[in-house]
Structure 1
Amino acid sequence: MIYGGNTPFAVELRAVTKQYGAKSASVRALNGVSLGFPAGTWTAVMGPSGSGKSTLLHCATGLDRVSSGQVLLTGTDITQAPEAYLTTLRRRSIGFVFQHFNLVASLTAAQNVELPLKLAGSRVSKSDVFEALDQVGLGDRLHHRPRELSGGQQQRVAIARAMITRPAVLFADEPTGALDSQSARTVLALLKDLVRNGQTIIMVTHDPAAAAAADSVVFLSDGRVIDRLDQPTTHAVAERLARLEESC
């Protein structure tokens, strides 16, 4: 098993297999993956196209059911949990950030940030919304709509929205994929600050520079974990990824 140390895991996969289809048409997207993500750390997940990165993310969040094995979120086994329970758990314990910001165009930055609270039926504190936007450097953009913000600013609003519920784990799927290099650096620095303050982040990326910002990088191939790199550098990540793609 590849684990990150003795720190309690925020997310843990135990011998997880995910298979799509049946018999001769079946595809095994994950193949016996055992992997722990320590609380308060940032892990990047990389691999060639079709290696199982997105499936791992979906199974870890309960968006997709595993075919076999167990998934534990903050110590709770969610493998067989009812869908209603998973929906509530995701709203309270998980934050999502995607490549495409998924902001509601007709809403202001503040209204986009408070949306998860409203959907969960929770009380909305204007001071909490301001604090979330101020934390990402947008305290002066509360009333701006997405079209009035740059791509980097929109992604920071998306991060504030993900963090407003104070999730145990932040899942990021190519969070810098749609950004220019300067905006990407700003977003990565923000994520680094969140980790310094105890946030757990699991990030899928194809970008060696983004992966190098994380504490460690896990490499997948054909649905298996085949390598791990701690204290990564851009060069080391790019080299291992290139070697992996050549062998596929």
Structure 2
Amino acid sequence: MSRPAAAGPQASAGAPVTSVQLHQVSRHYGTGEARVQALADVTVTFPAGTWTAVMGPSGSGKSTLLHCAAGLDRASSGRVVLAGQDITRATDATLTSLRRRTMGFIFQNFNLIGSLTAEQNVALPLKLAGARPSRADVRAALAAVGLADRARHRPRELSGGQQQRVAIARGMVTRPSVLFADEPTGALDTHSARMVLRLLRRMVDESGQTVVMVTHDPVAAANADAVVFLSDGRIVDRLIRPTAAGVAERLTRLEG
């Protein structure tokens, strides 16, 4: 499958358009001897209209990077710019408004509301943003992840993989300019994973959306335009136009 150049769309002045930027971002937890450094002086840009995979050994800071980039966690130092707005010291109200207007997030542990049906879970971001959800849009999002016939099922009536696909439909339904995804295919069978990866690819290629995805799977990462590798909270490598074999080889080096 063809992929756009990793630089993404170009502004009229010729400079790359960027959706997300981290400038010398560090994140630590705790103090004294209990202090843990999750990110250390990370500078990275995710160009608009591209798909970047974030990879690295367990504990390398992948999810922390994703959460800081999305404004779900605060950087201890440095600067985070999301959709052209510096969110480093933004108020919670500003962050909430920006997230609802600009981004979607697919969580590793689904975060579905058990009392709501699949279609109600998918419609929730639209309602929170003050929009009136279109049933057609909600059903289309569920159909896109292969769950058109599960719209009225509650999470307890769905398998783990089906719950993950509901979470993916929820992240996509607002057509966010930036979609952050934490292991979006981790709980899926091979067929479902391929379906989701094709959807993410179309979001980028056809709609110009930006995808930033944490994954441990070289095959999933090979669908992206670029891969950023973390180790001990630092960016240690990058790979443009990745292949599964190339990603696996670099991961082996990091984990060895």
- TM-score (norm. length: structure 1): 0.90
Aligned pair partner of 1:187 in 178, 183, 196: 196
Report the alpha carbon displacement of residue 148 of structure 1 after superposing the two structures with TM. Answer: 4.5
Q: Which residue of 2 aligns with 1:58?
A: 67
Is the aligned partner of 1:239 residue 2:244? no
Q: Aligned to 1:242, what secondary structure does the other structure show?
A: helix
Question: 1:103 aligns to what?
Answer: 112
Aligned length: 243
2:130 — aligned with what?
A: 121
SS at match of 1:220: strand
One of 236, 239, 246 as aligned partner of 1:229: 239
1:71: Cα distance to partner?
0.3
Tell me, yes or no, if structure 1 residue 203 matches structure 2 residue 213: yes
Deviation at 1:215, TM superposition (A): 1.2
Matched, 1:169 2:178: yes
Q: Where in structure 2 are there 5+ consecutive unaligned residues?
A: 1-5, 8-14
Letter of the structure 1 residue corresponding to residue 224 of structure 2: A
CA distance in 2, matches of 1:212, 1:201: 14
Alignment of 1:130-169 (within 5 A): 130-169=139-178
Alpha-carbon separation, structure 2, partners of 1:190 and 1:165: 14
1:179, CA displacement in angstroms?
Answer: 1.7
SS of the equivalent of 1:167 reads: coil
Whether contact under 8 Å (1:40, 1:199) holds in the other structure is yes
CA distance 1:93–1:114, change in 2 (3 Å): same
Kindly indicate whether the alpha-carbon contact (under 8 Å) linking 1:151 and 1:183 is maintained by their aligned counterparts in 2.
no
Give me the whole-angstrom Cα distance separating, in 1, the residues matched to 2:186 and 2:149: 25
CA distance in 2 between partners of 1:104 and 1:64 (Å): 22
**What residue is the counterpart of 2:55 in the other structure?**
46
The secondary structure found in structure 1 opposite 2:185 is coil
SS of 1:99's equivalent? coil
CA RMSD of aligned residues (A): 1.9
Q: Which residue identity does 2:185 align to in structure 1?
A: T
- Structure 1 unaligned regions, length at least 5: none
Contact 2:19–2:82 (CA under 8 A) maintained in structure 1: yes
| TM-score, reference length from structure 2 | 0.87
TM-superposed CA distance for 1:125, in Å, is 2.1
Which residue identity does 2:49 align to in structure 1? G
1:218 pairs with 228, 237, 247, which one? 228
Closer/same/farther in 2, CA of residues 84 and 236 from structure 1, 3 Å limit: same
CA displacement, residues 38-86 of structure 1 (integer Å, 9 cap, x when unaligned): 1111111011122111110111111111121110001110001011111
- Cα distance in 2 for partners of 1:196, 1:134 equals 20
